[in-house]
Structure 1
Amino acid sequence: MSEKAKRGGTLGRAPIGYTNTLQRRDGHDSRSVQIDPIRGPLIHRTFELFATDRYNYEQLSDLMLKHGLSRTSHPDQPPRSIGTTGIARLLTCRYYLGIVTYTGTERPGQHPPLITRQQFDNAQAIIARRQASSQRRSRLDHYLKGTLYCEKCLHAGSPTRLLSYTESTGRSGHRFPYFYCAQRGPQPRHRQYIPAKYAEQHVTQIWKSIQLTSSYRALLQRTLQHFRSEAVLRRPGRLYLTEDTETRKTMNQTIFSRIYLPTQDAQHA
């Protein structure tokens, strides 16, 4: 098998878009890989559509199913999409460049390519950019993270249910930041959330309404990096409004162990 791979031959079954053929020549079996006349052009079309940067893996899988790109299935079964995993594997498969890989070494294959190097490189650039964007989103931060808890979970007997923070992006490109309760289950509190701006307003109102004791004022003064006079600390609501987000975070974590917020059901938002 290693000699066949070194010559650019395909070991095993060729990926979707190709067909393994067997011919009898001079009394000997001759195996080769040819472009599938139906699926081959669909692989090329998949790379073209992905290059527009308008489709995610799921959308592209569903769209290509309508064009006829499906998993191999029993004739009596309806065709199925290749799925997001199949699309991800397809878009990173170097075999479509006319290359075979054996023990980590690439060699020119005996099979014809389905795409150009430019198409493949464009797809890798889009994938890399999306992965980098996803990693940035996974590190989203907010000065209220780690302080807010779900009020409905408190009443349901789970007082330690911390609210998580994320941001979603609508079709118009507008970002919607919100805190949500990750508790899952049959209870109505499933996927409870509160928009970030309402959470910020709620916490601000708390600061406006409280009066700190002398011991808490002293604690806050020691915690804050810059000096705050006694007169300023006697009006914590005004102080909170005038500070930057990092100082607000410090103030919240110093004075409050938990802040419970009312959330709403995402299904009725």
Structure 2
Amino acid sequence: MTITTPATAAKVVPTSTITPTVTTKRAAIYLRVSTPRQARKNNEAEGYSIPQQREYCQRRARELGAEVVREYVDAGETARTSDRAALQQMLTDMQSNDAEVTFDYIIVHKLDRLIRDRSDDMALLIAMKKARTELVSVSEAVDASPAGQLLQGVMASINQYYSDNLSLEARKGMAQKARNGGTHGVAPIGYLNTLSREGGQEVKGIAVDTERAPHITWAFHTYATGDWSISTLAEALDARGLRGRVTQKYRGTPLSTAQLHRMLKNPYYTGKIVYQGVVMDGAHPAIIDPFIWQRCQDILADRRLAGDRSWKLSHALKGCLICGRCGGRIGYGKSRGQGGVYDYFFCLGRHTGRTDCDLPYISMEKVEAAVRKEWRRRARLTPTELAEARRNATAQLDAYVSDSETLIAQQTSRLAVLNRRKQKLIDAYLDETLSPEDVKSRQVDVNREIATATHQLRTAEEGRAVLYERLETVLAALEHAATIYDTANDDIKRRLNQAIFEPFQIDLLDDHDQRVPEAQNEAHCAVTGALTAPAAAVAALVGRRGKNAPHTANDKPGPDQGSHDKTPGQLALTGGSNVNYLA
């Protein structure tokens, strides 16, 4: 008779495969190994341990004069829990009313093959007593006698102690490995687990997968543009030839959208590890810049907004617009109507019902025309202004370079202090003196300070020649900015908008510059664009785009406008030089 088991890791052998003997007693044998690797050792179907256990148990059955009628196998299961397919099937058969299924003995090679938890051992004893079944161990003198029951209780306690102590030591080892930046388990795609021998000992490590890492890097940078969905990115990676690693379990298939989503959220690629929810510095090399990774997280978070599917469509102004009424994000869509397809922009706050904003839908043509007008009005310097900006910037460069050594020393010292503080947080967590929630909240603050100090340090270390070259690039772009924008493709336009302007605030106004609650053909789109910090810094060098600059009718202040009205000292990171923004 064959018993169908509920899990592939468990196996019940039919009686037809076991040679019976003429006996009156019926026996079942239970076999187990802890890991799938043990079950497949040396490419054998059952490894080494299971056949050896079977041989000893069958020999013990013959000594008892019993016929082995059932064999239950759990391959790759822990004994710390009784939730094992073959074990549960054995208990069900043992308590059955069918005489063809029940048995008189359960034979195991050792007690720890069956149970390593004292409470499970007691429950098993009670069930066996009700079923009038006796437990027999090949390695221990366990039987139904009082001495045998005493020994079983003692051995059960010893097995639980061994299991609990092993678990404790394993946790200590994992915590120390995390403290050292080690990787737990299999490294994610793009990396390889390595094994080498140093001084006669095996040393495990992590190396960059030169075959797959370039695809991973491309995926992060591509998704960070905001123009790709997870599904289209997965298709592109498939076309590029990216496949998963070939293992005993996997056969190197293309990444699914779920796998790609997990990959994009994994900080491992920035040189970090996550241990019990806490992010720590890893010992492996980073293949993704933290800024690119954070950009991907922001995009993933934005796309979780209910009802927002506008990111599936592409337009040069995507990500460059905000609502002039509520300050919310602007979506882009297409609508089919009389005469064809109409492109439009809309407030996501109103669209999803998250705000009471009343900004109407605005046609793409009106928004594009208003943005081009803003470019011609704001993003241009005359030759005279360019010469003045060049003179002022060169003078500031000289002063900046002389001060940079002091700044480098300050920020280097600051980084050392912050890194020590960060390590203390990790040590406190690993020593269980701080909860994971406390560590996470404090890590956010420390990491933000580290990022700021690192940025200032990198800026200060830039050479004068590099900064002057960047200044010339910025000045040339501002001289011909509007022309460059008009003739550029969508990708270049998007980059220009992000480089020169903060997100444009858009609104729909009537002829008297009053807001309209519904779309009207005669209404016009008003766009207000604050210069980004680098562009505003250059404009401030010529002293004409500051606080006293004249405003046009469309130049209405909004919730985020005003960075272009700051003084040079307010704009600079160090509080005194606009040259920082050229870095």
TM-score, normalised relative to structure 2: 0.24
Whose radius of gyration is greater, 1 or 2? 2
The structure richer in helix per residue is 2
